[in-house]
Amino acid sequence: MMFVQDLEITNLRVLESAMLVPGQGLNVLYGPNGSGKTSVLEALHLLGVGRSFRSRHHHEMVRRGTQGFRVNGAIHRETGLRRLGLEHGPEGLRIRCDGQPVTSASLLAKELPLVLLTPESQRLMTEGASLRRQLLDWCLFHVEPGFLPVFKRFKRVLKQRNAALRSQEGPRVVRSWDEELIVSGNEVHELRARYVDVFLPAVEAVVDRLLPFRVALEYRAGWPEGRTLEEALGDSLSSDVVRGFTQVGPQRGDVAFLLDGVAARKLMSRGEVKLFVAGIMLAQAAHFIERMGRRLVIMVDEVASELDEESRRRIFSVLGSLGVQTFVTTVSRGLVENEAWLPDAVFHVEQGKVSAVV
């Protein structure tokens, strides 16, 4: 079983120095708002992704009055113990695995796969398609070995085509990138489309435990239905030249959540949207476990306070059934302690201090 065996945090946000030895199941971090609970999750996210889910810039996470932050963690894996470390200071960001420098954050993601559920996660339903693409691409990154090189190739050639458009180099130069864009773009599209079909049963299985209806998933390519990517690029070339960027392709793909053919968010209450998004994120974890035959870590930030008691019971029932290490933050430990899943470890966080509760 994979789990975080220990976590050490120095000068991250309000946390001056914290050392946690989490349990292998449910870990509860409780305390008032602004105390540093979410910063503990942020530290875990840094170890698993190389960046924060709250800020785009590492320097914004440095504790006031200090030069940098440091996060270290021991990850217990089926293949042995791995130690991950991340440090940001005046010289920039440095990442290490077992003491050796790491140049790609994708290695961290392989060592410490994470699923994060926050109040912001409901943007998956209410805002642009980029978050839904990220959801698909996270799953494919982990379960489909060939996805990452194909995706990187597509992103590289898309960047080159867009650079040619911005530089106004003319249609012939722009079209010189189309062949490679079409090949790699179609590969990305096909991998995503197949994955949505595979992912749907996992979504249904989890959402059925949270809500009394089923939601269909529909993948949309990012170019007009009935046209090939090659045809769509040709159709939009003159407009691309005017606008200065490529308007069709997998970078515009999306996943629609539908109830009886209608956008689900238009028919759901606010509470139902929160439960459904939680179901999508937990289905993501369940599918990873099934496909990969290994565990991951789930982080839940302040979601419990936004749900009623029955909704919390349902979510914690699903979380408990996954059998993975989970970190939950809350203003009151009573909000997350119920018969559905009892905590393995409880930590009180206040004024930047983290204390294990016996």
Average pLDDT on 161-187 reads 95
pLDDT for 138: 94
User: One-letter amino acid identity for 124?
Assistant: L
Q: Are 140 and 292 spatial neighbours (Cβ–Cβ below 8 Å)?
A: no
Q: Are 300 and 272 spatial neighbours (Cβ–Cβ below 8 Å)?
A: no
Confidence tier at 52 by pLDDT (50, 70, 90):
very high
Instruction: Specify the pTM.
Output: 0.94
How high does pLDDT run on average in the chain?
93
Q: How far is CA 183 from the centre of its chain?
A: 27
Q: Are 14 and 351 spatial neighbours (Cβ–Cβ below 8 Å)?
A: yes
Average pLDDT on 104-118 reads 92
Q: What DSSP character marks residue 246? A: -
pLDDT for 144: 93
Report the C-alpha gap between 326 and 139 in whole angstroms: 19
User: Among 36-40, 244-248, 332-336, whose mean pLDDT is lowest?
Assistant: 332-336
Q: Are 337 and 28 spatial neighbours (Cβ–Cβ below 8 Å)?
A: yes
Question: Could you give the 3-state DSSP secondary structure of residue 347?
Answer: strand
- Greatest mean pLDDT range, 51-60, 117-126, 164-173, 177-186: 177-186
pLDDT for 237: 96
Q: What DSSP character marks residue 189? A: H
Question: Could you give the 3-state DSSP secondary structure of residue 278?
Answer: helix
Nearest alpha carbon to residue 37 among 118, 154, 111: 118
pLDDT for 106: 85
Report the C-alpha gap between 354 and 358 in whole angstroms: 13
**Domains of the chain listed by start with CATH number:** 1-113+296-358 (3.40.50.300), 122-294 (1.20.1050.90)
- Quickly count: other Cβ atoms within 10 Å of residue 185's Cβ: 29
Q: Are 280 and 132 spatial neighbours (Cβ–Cβ below 8 Å)?
A: no
Contacts (Cβ under 8 Å, ≥6 apart) of 240: 165, 174, 246, 247
Q: Which two tokens stand for residue 55?
A: 């800020």
Average pLDDT on 155-179 reads 95
222-257, pLDDT tens digit by residue?
999 999 999 999 999 999 999 999 999 999 999 999
Q: Which two tokens stand for residue 66?
A: 């200090």
pLDDT for 70: 98
Q: Are 83 and 73 spatial neighbours (Cβ–Cβ below 8 Å)?
A: yes
Q: What DSSP character marks residue 41? A: H
Among left, alpha and beta (phi > 0; psi -120 to 50; other), residue 184 is alpha
CA–CA distance from 281 to each of 30, 104, 112, 115, 147 (Å)?
22, 25, 17, 7, 20
Report percent pLDDT > 70 for the chain.
100
Question: Could you give the 3-state DSSP secondary structure of residue 342?
Answer: coil
Average pLDDT on 274-301 reads 94
The label of the residue with tokens 């194909």 reads 150
Report percent pLDDT > 90 for the chain.
82
Question: Could you give the 3-state DSSP secondary structure of residue 302?
Answer: coil
Residues 119/123/211/42 CA torsion (nearest 10 deg) = -40
CA–CA distance from 324 to each of 34, 158, 272, 288, 341 (Å)?
27, 38, 25, 12, 12
Q: Are 283 and 203 spatial neighbours (Cβ–Cβ below 8 Å)?
A: yes
For 138-145, the CB contacts below 8 A with 24+ separation are 138/284, 139/195, 139/199, 139/284, 139/287, 139/288, 140/191, 140/192, 140/195, 141/106, 141/109, 142/109, 142/110, 142/113, 142/288, 142/291, 142/292, 143/195, 143/287, 143/288, 143/291, 143/292, 144/191, 144/195
First-to-last alpha carbon distance for the chain, in angstroms, is 25
Of residues 185 and 1, which shows the higher confidence score? 185
